[in-house]
DNA sequence: CCAATTGTTATTTA
DNA sequence: ATAAATAACAATTG
């Protein structure tokens, strides 16, 4: 489920709940696949009695920094990727975890819960001050100055035969973009999802670049700024002028042209577009 | 039973 | 050899 803006919302939710509080206990569902490759005993031991010292979100990942005691020896990093169905929630201190609640951090007042039924998500843990590799390797954010038209153009050239929709989902250049954001960007840029990446004109590349930035920024305002989490396609705060609230309804109509929307698999994912607005060329 | 699902990665195919 | 397509991962819902 979560892409860029929802990930940021979840991060803020945990950060707010854990602010200035000590973690009094840690529970892990050890056999859950979200812990593949992580030492859950080490995680429990290191976080017990620790305090949250900071956090960040980038792409579809989050990192929570913890500190225990004064020195750098007590520092550690908790990484979370929510996969397709993961969610971070905050519950009462005595919350009883259910089947899909894989990680619970308790403070005196609250329980921070990671829930993920499908377990495509992942929890990583590393002790020490140094930033984990996987975090350092995340591509520069779409809203950062490093995300330039030139960088996008070079990337599209290397993937010239792939449909542009598939290329937008590649995290190494478009970190945080998921299925609905990709459709929203292509719709705004008036590009057909099956258009080969190498066939975009210079003007189209520029439009694509601008709409990537615009959709990220709008999504962060509307979704990450909200109090509660609502699945993006049912979020009442999403303006009807976006493609998003129309894209999953059969017989949905394009808010710009009034024409029927189409839905097909492109680049292996269900894709929605407005044929009257987004046309294949050459 | 079948098809669907807002993600990533390993494997297969072209 | 490279890039693109597909299968696989797991669970649930319609």
**What pLDDT digit, counting tens, does each position of A132-162 carry?**
999 999 999 999 999 999 999 999 999 999 9
The tokens for A217 are: 């920024």
pLDDT of residue A32: 92
Q: How far is the CA of A176 from the C1' of C14 (A)?
A: 29
Nucleotide closest in space to A4 (CA vs C1') = B6
CA distance A66 to A53: 5
pLDDT of amino acid A71: 73
Q: What is the per-residue pLDDT for A263?
A: 92
Which helix or strand (DSSP H or E) is residue A152 part of? helix A149-158
CA gap A173, A156 in Å, rounded:
10
The predicted pLDDT at position A169 comes to 96
Which of these, A235, A10, A168, lies nearest to A247 by C-alpha position?
A235
- Write down how long chain A is: 282
What is the arithmetic mean of pLDDT over A47-63? 96
Give the model's confidence band at A249: pLDDT under 50 very low, under 70 low, under 90 confident, else very high.
confident
What is the pTM assigned to this prediction?
Answer: 0.95
CA of A130, C1' of B8: distance in angstroms: 25
Q: Name the nucleotide nearest A6; use CA and C1'.
A: B6
Distance A126 CA to B4 C1' (A): 36
Is the per-residue pLDDT at A46 higher than 70? yes
Half-sphere exposure of A253 (CA within 13 A, CB side): 5
In this predicted structure, the answer to whether residue A192 has a pLDDT above a threshold of 60 is yes
């Amino acid at each position: 489920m979560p892409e860029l803006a929802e990930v940021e919302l979840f991060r803020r939710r945990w950060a707010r709940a854990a602010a200035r509080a000590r973690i009094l206990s840690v529970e892990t569902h050890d056999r859950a696949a979200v812990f593949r490759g992580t030492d859950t005993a080490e995680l429990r031991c290191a976080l017990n009695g620790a305090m949250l010292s900071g956090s960040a979100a980038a792409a579809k990942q989050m990192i929570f920094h913890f500190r225990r005691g004064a020195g750098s020896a007590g520092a550690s990093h908790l990484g979370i990727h929510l996969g397709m169905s993961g969610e971070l929630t905050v519950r009462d201190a005595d919350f009883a975890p259910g089947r899909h609640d894989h990680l619970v951090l308790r403070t005196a007042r609250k329980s921070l819960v990671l829930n993920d039924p499908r377990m495509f998500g992942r929890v990583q843990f590393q002790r020490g001050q140094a930033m984990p590799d996987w975090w350092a390797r995340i591509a520069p954010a779409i809203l950062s100055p490093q995300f330039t038209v030139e960088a996008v153009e070079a990337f599209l050239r290397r993937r010239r035969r792939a449909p542009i929709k598939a290329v937008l989902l590649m995290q190494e250049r478009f970190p945080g973009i998921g299925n609905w954001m990709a459709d929203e960007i292509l719709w705004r840029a008036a590009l057909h999802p099956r258009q080969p990446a190498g066939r975009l004109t210079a003007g189209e590349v520029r439009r694509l670049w601008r709409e990537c930035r615009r959709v990220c920024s709008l999504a962060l305002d509307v979704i990450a700024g909200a109090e509660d989490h609502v699945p993006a396609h049912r979020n009442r705060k999403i303006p009807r002028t976006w493609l998003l609230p129309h894209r999953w309804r059969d017989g949905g109509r394009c808010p710009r042209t009034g024409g029927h929307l189409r839905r097909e698999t492109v680049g292996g994912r269900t894709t929605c577009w407005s044929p009257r607005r987004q046309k294949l060329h050459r």
